[in-house]
Structures are given as C-alpha cells and as structure tokens.
Structure 1
Amino acid sequence: MSQGLFRHKHPVLTGLLVLGGIMLFFWGGITFFITSLANPSKSELFLKEGIGVIDIKGVILESEETLENMVAFREEPKIKAIVLRIDSPGGAVGASQEIYDEVRRTCDVKPVVASMGSVAASGGLYVSLGATKIVANPGTLTGSMGVILKFANLEGLFEKIGYKNEVVKSGRLKDIGSPSRPMTGEERLMLQGMIDIVQSQFVQAVAESRSLPAAEVRKIADGRIFSGQQAKEYGLVDQMGNFRDAVMLAADLAGLKGEKTPELIYPKGEDFSFLRLMTGKKNESLLQQTGLSGPILAYEWTGTLR
C-alpha cells in the first residue's frame, strides 16, 4: 500500500529509479560481454602450438604486466618461443632492469627474440639485451645508452607569485631536488655519483649480453642515438629484419619448421575498464603519465619523433 502510494505521489522519481536500474543492468551485461570476449580462458588461448608475442610500447613506467606475461608464456609448453616486440624510448631504470632479468631467465627455458620497431632506445634497448637474438630494422632508432634524472627549478615562478617554501629536515640532503631552490654543488655531486653507478650497470649489461669489451661499450655509451644498421655494426644487434623476420627466427630457434608464419599467441586482454576506455590509458598509471609522480631515475631517450 505504501509502495503504491509512493509511486502515485512521485511518478517522476519512480520512473527515474526504474530507468536507472534498467541502465545499470544493461551496462553490467555489456561489461560482462566485452570482458568475456577480451579474456578468453587459458585453454582457449593455447589451443595450438605457436610463438608468443609480448609488446613493449611507449614509456616503460612499470614492469608487472610484462613480467606476468613473460612468466605465463615461459611456463606454457605450447608456446615454443617468444618474440618481444619493442617500440619504446625507454623509461624507469628499475622497471627496465626487471624486464631484462625476466627475459634472461626465460631464455634459459625457451628462445626469446627481441624485435625492434621504430624506436628501441635507452631502456628499450636495455630490455632487448636479455633476448637470445635481437632483430632491428635498418632505420630503427636505438642507442641512447645513458641515465637521466630531471628536477624542475621553479624558484623564479615562486618568487613571482609570492610562494615561499619552509622546510624542516633531518639532514642537509633530505630535500634534494626541491623545486623552490637551486641545487647545491654537494647535491649535484652526490646525484652524479649515483647516476655514474647506474650507467655502469647499463654498460655491464651490454658488455655481458653482447660479449663486447666494456671499454668499447663505454665509447658509444654517451647518450648518442644511432640507427639499427649502426647498432649491428657496433655488435648490439644480430640481424636486420622486420617483425615477421623475428617471428620466423624465433620459430627456427624453437625447431618449428616450415615456410608459413607460425601461429602467433598474444597475452589475454586486460579486464574491461570504463576509465581506460575513455582515456586510452591504464588507470593505475595515470598519475605517472601526467608527470605528477615526481622525478625518476630513467634509461630514457627524451627526444621526440614529432
């Protein structure tokens, strides 16, 4: 009786509630349908033997997804080899090193071929070093072996707007990189020392993975960029070729004979996200992608192709 009275007194509100419920049910159905399409079961993913393909595109900010895919492909017996397709200017040092380590670990189980696309510079080059073989296009932009750490100096801007930053700190280096003041000589010296250590890690990784003398690597590890053809001349790349060439090389290393391109197996799609659908970005990385996460130690080429 009371429900009927409410509907009688508030027909518009009742209609809106009913309409909202229908829309919620409808949207839930669409989400479930898209998710089911984008996330087939593991048995559906690996019906045939083939070559796994893992993409590394854009700035490398995190490694978790790539590591997860690498481990899944390594443990799946129907995936005979893996192609790591790289189109990246590099990114965070830690993430690049984690991917490099996992690629090397995977090479002990099955072949991994790194395929360089348009750009595989700095951290993009670093992650490729763990592969069994590296394939690049003659015009691939690679190199940029080096470390960069950037801080904003907003002292002039703060003075114009009347902003003052009062700091209480436990040690003289605690607020290193503060945007409200210039960097001191002591701070710059300390940061340079840290960067030199991380740079030596890059040089060591190149020397060990490519069987090159560290002294020769240091000669070209000054941040310069070079083409895929030059990289081959330096001993950083095994052969020239496109993505299909890398796939066929991986198949050959895995013992899959035949002239036809083998079955290509990609990681399962991510869970459907309305935020990601609207932004085209991973919602967990939005803070990093907007540049609000603070300075990071980076193996990154900071040039632009546009």
Structure 2
Amino acid sequence: MFAVIVTSVTEDGRMLSRSDKIAVIEVTGIITDSSDINREIIGYGERDDIKAVVLRIDSPGGGVGPSQEIYREVKRLKEKKKVVVSMGSVAASGGYYIAAAGDKIFANPGTLTGSIGVVMEFANVEELLSKIGLKGYVIKSGAYKDIGSPIRKMKDSEKKLLQSVIDDVHEQFVKVVYENRGITAAAAKNIADGRIFTGAQAKELGLVDELGNMHDAIDETAKMAGIKGKPTVIYPRKGLSLWDLLFSDNAASKLINTLKSRYDMKYILSYIAK
C-alpha cells in the first residue's frame, strides 16, 4: 500500500501540508510604503488554502497615504477571510488606523496604542542662514506653491490652509475608528487628541477587543475560521540575507528607504506617534 502526501514549500523553505493554513502578515516600523504589504494581502486573499490572516502590527504609524492603502486592502481581504490583528510593542497612529480594519484586535496589556491624530512638521532655518550670510530665493507659480519652505517664516494664511488639511485628514481617522469599533462618533472624537493608551486602557475604551499575545490571536483566528485541530501557520521571512542585498533588484533601495524614512516622515502628512 502506498500513500501519497502532497506538500508545498514556503518562501523560507519550510514544508507545508495541504491542511488549512493561517498566514501572518507583518506591519513593522515606520509606514512609508504599502506595496509589499498589499502584495502579501492580495496574494493570500487569492489562495484557497489560506483560511484566515493574522495581521501582526508593531509600528508607530507613518504616512497617511500608505496607511490608508493598507487599511483598504485589509477591508477587501475581510470580505473573503477572517482577519485578526495582533499588536506588538506599539501599534499607534497609522498602525492603529490599519488595525481598525480587522475583525478582532488583540493587544498586550502594555502595548502602546492610540495616538489618533495627524501631524505635519516644518523647520525654519531663515535666521541660521542669515548668520552665515546666505539668503534663499524662490520663484513660484502660485501663492502657496512653496508652502512650508524652510527659508522663510510661514504666513498665517498658510498655517490656516495647512490646518484645514490636518483637520480633514483627522476627521477621516476619527470616522475609521467609530465605524469599525462600534463606538459613537462623540466617544471617538473625545479620545482622538493624539494621546497614547496602554493595551489595557484601550480595551476599556473599546479600541481593542482582547488582551493577549500572538499565539492567543492565532488560536482565536483558527476558531473564527472554523479550522479543526492545529492549523499550519505561515510566517513571513525574516530580514534581508547577504544574498538578498547582493542580488535582489530592490533590496538595496528598500534598505536606503528604511534608513532615511525617519527624516522624510517629518515633512509629509503623517499618522505617526511622537
């Protein structure tokens, strides 16, 4: 008698059976780009053997655009499969924005989360330049084209314009919170002033559902997906190998982008905890 066992191999070389699987997708560090994460989300959404996804978030947030793009793909994934969020050390601002899309959110009691707000930062080096005998000139096509220029003081009209942008994007964040978390708009606005919360505090406020770690989230995901027995869990690959750095088409650019992301994030519209 012969038995045939059908297996597959993950990207990191582990052998998998044909049993129902749970995929883990990680959102870590400052969010500056959505393409890689969304590629994973879309890919797992199309796989019949993936019955559910755990979204592991350990991020202080990042750019508004990338955070919203990932949020939208998580919402699309939810139409096909269960999505459970597991928060690590921090899942704040844009990290929480993404988390709000999940079917259920797990946080550690000491996870730092919340920071529901928006920020833009600009430097003014006009006086510094004058001390060393330098003066900048700008030729522009419109009154607001050089808004935020570091070589001159910001005008009141410019501050007002930027504040209107901040307020609009902040309202978008607040709406995501109350629509996804089942709390009132007033309750969401009351806590959407940028303050951070522990996981335990967030649970009391209705921002997370359960206190627990990654394994607790995986166990609950299996139950929600109707998986019998112990599911096979597909974890993401860890880090960049020397081979990746030498031969990958985009690994070097990713590394450079990561190193300069902290600087860049100061000058774009951000959902980020400070």
TM bin (shorter chain): 0.7 to 0.9
Superposition pairs of residues 232-243 of structure 1, within 5 angstroms: 232-243=203-214
Spell out, residue by residue over 1:193-216, the C-alpha distance to the aligned partner (whole angstroms, 9 max, x if none): 000000000000001001111111
1:294 positional shift: 6.9
Q: Is the 8 A contact 1:114 1:135 kept in 2?
A: yes
**Are positions 1:152 and 2:133 aligned together?**
no
Spell out, residue by residue over 1:172-209, the C-alpha distance to the aligned partner (whole angstroms, 9 max, x if none): 11110000111110000000000000000000000100
**Are positions 1:263 and 2:220 aligned together?**
no
Give, as a single letter, the amino acid of the residue that structure 1 aligns with 2:124. Answer: N
**Are positions 1:298 and 2:270 aligned together?**
yes
**Are positions 1:127 and 2:98 aligned together?**
yes
SS in 2 for 1:180: coil
Q: Is the 8 A contact 1:51 1:83 kept in 2?
A: yes
Spell out, residue by residue over 1:121-155, the C-alpha distance to the aligned partner (whole angstroms, 9 max, x if none): 00010000111110111111001000000111111
- CA RMSD across the alignment: 2.6
Q: Distance in 2 between matches of 1:185 and 1:169?
A: 19
Q: Is the 8 A contact 2:120 2:266 kept in 1?
A: no
Q: Is the 8 A contact 1:287 1:293 kept in 2?
A: no
What is the number of residues matched between the two proteins?
A: 261
Q: Distance in 2 between matches of 1:204 and 1:118?
A: 25
Superposition pairs of residues 86-125 of structure 1, within 5 angstroms: 86-125=57-96
Q: Is the 8 A contact 2:245 2:252 kept in 1?
A: no
SS in 2 for 1:188: helix
Structure 2 equivalent of residue 49 of structure 1: 20
Counterpart pick for 2:109 among 115, 138, 142 = 138
Give, as a single letter, the amino acid of the residue that structure 2 aligns with 1:122. Answer: S
Counterpart pick for 2:217 among 246, 249, 254 = 246
Q: Is the 8 A contact 1:46 1:265 kept in 2?
A: no
Counterpart pick for 2:141 among 160, 170, 174 = 170
Structure 1 equivalent of residue 49 of structure 2: 78
Gaps of 5+ in 1: 1-36
Q: Is the 8 A contact 1:61 1:288 kept in 2?
A: no
Q: Which has the larger radius of gyration?
A: 1
1:289 positional shift: 2.2
Give, as a single letter, the amino acid of the residue that structure 2 aligns with 1:257. Answer: K
SS in 2 for 1:272: helix
**Structure 1 residues 230 and 275, CA, compared in 2 at 3 Å: closer, same or farther?**
farther
Identity across the alignment (%): 49
**Are positions 1:221 and 2:204 aligned together?**
no
Gaps of 5+ in 2: 1-8
**Structure 1 residues 132 and 97, CA, compared in 2 at 3 Å: closer, same or farther?**
same
Q: Which structure features the higher share of strand residues?
A: 2
**TM-score, with length taken from structure 1:** 0.79
Structure 2 equivalent of residue 206 of structure 1: 177
SS in 1 for 2:145: coil
Q: Distance in 2 between matches of 1:223 and 1:240?
A: 22
**Are positions 1:65 and 2:36 aligned together?**
yes
Which runs of at least 4 in structure 1 moved beyond 4 Å after TM superposition? 37-41, 43-48, 267-271
Q: Which structure features the higher share of helix residues?
A: 1
Give, as a single letter, the amino acid of the residue that structure 1 aligns with 2:235. Answer: Y
